Amino acid sequence: MTHADDTSRLPTYFISHGGGPWPWMRKEMGPTYDQLAAALADMPRQIGRTPDAILMVSAHWEAPVFTVQGNPRPPMIYDYGGFPAHTYEVRYDAPGSPELARRVQSLLAAAGLPAAIDPERGFDHGMFSPMKAMYPDAGVPVVQLSLRRGLDPAEHLALGRALAPLRDENVLIVGSGLSYHNLRNFGPQAHGVSKAFGDWLDDTAVQSAPQERVQRLQDWAAAPSARMAHPREEHLIPLMVVVGAAEQEPGERIYHEDAFMGGLVVSSYRFGAAAS
């Protein structure tokens, strides 16, 4: 069944995706992820309808050129270590969409961005962990899109601009990373640096005018505590993609914790309006 507003433009999202296979670790983790889970589970309500597909840009896939997942039935990639044995058997059996993969490749080609299709690539935990909270029945097709090695902010903003037409085609664009990602400085002692960077990120994503927002993101490494928050920026770069795809539209913080994992400031953002 279609809705009267099915032609309206979908927002884009940058989500903090948490650590490893957390949705399958309630017994081990207790309430640690309850706030994140609730924020992710609320996204379908904000969207107001079921997307035809989701294009997921995960921090956990980099390639020499932008590469699209073309596998119609992607397998699982257990790209984490040190977790309980049962988490290496979890399943999130969403279908892929070779049709969407070809559409993405053509959009990028039209924008002068070389793109490849990987017919074998599976789902990594940057996709399946948040998707388990967002769409637990795995009924929505998902296609992953890689970052490009070098992690150039301007290039990933341009990637987002090229992908923007998908928002009018009932495809949800999600950037999956973490607003703070320094595994060597985690927990209460990291509160100050994560807050300093998080405050800058809020100001950039939510308060800045479109042109200023783009400029600040391109210059993100000059932000307060930037390299303490992201010694390597692969978990931040998905934000560039979703901002590029909603360049002129306002941002809103949809998830925020001041003491995640004992002290981290972490957030997620939506760009573009929620359904009324």
User: What tens digit of pLDDT does each residue of 43-73 get?
Assistant: 999 999 999 999 999 999 999 999 999 999 9
- Let me know if residue 62 belongs to a domain: yes
Tell me how many domains the chain contains: 1
- Let me know if residue 107 belongs to a domain: yes
User: What tens digit of pLDDT does each residue of 19-41 get?
Assistant: 999 999 999 999 999 999 999 99
Q: How confident is the model at residue 182 (pLDDT cuts 50, 70, 90)?
A: confident
Mean pLDDT of the chain: 95
Q: How confident is the model at residue 5 (pLDDT cuts 50, 70, 90)?
A: very low
Quote the pTM value. 0.96
- Let me know if residue 80 belongs to a domain: yes
- Let me know if residue 3 belongs to a domain: no
Q: Domain of 240?
A: 12-179+232-271
Task: Give 118-175 as a DSSP string.
Answer: ESS--B-HHHHHHHHHH-TT--S-EEEEEEETT--HHHHHHHHHHHGGGGGGTEEEEE
Instruction: Tell me the average pLDDT across 74-95.
Output: 96
- Let me know if residue 4 belongs to a domain: no
**Domain holding 129: CATH number?**
3.40.830.10
- Let me know if residue 86 belongs to a domain: yes
Q: How confident is the model at residue 1 (pLDDT cuts 50, 70, 90)?
A: very low
User: What tens digit of pLDDT does each residue of 235-267 get?
Assistant: 999 999 999 999 999 999 999 999 998 899 999
Q: How confident is the model at residue 2 (pLDDT cuts 50, 70, 90)?
A: very low
- Let me know if residue 29 belongs to a domain: yes
Could you give the CA distance from residue 271 to residue 252 in angstroms, rounded to a whole number? 6
More confident residue, 120 or 4: 120
- Let me know if residue 197 belongs to a domain: no
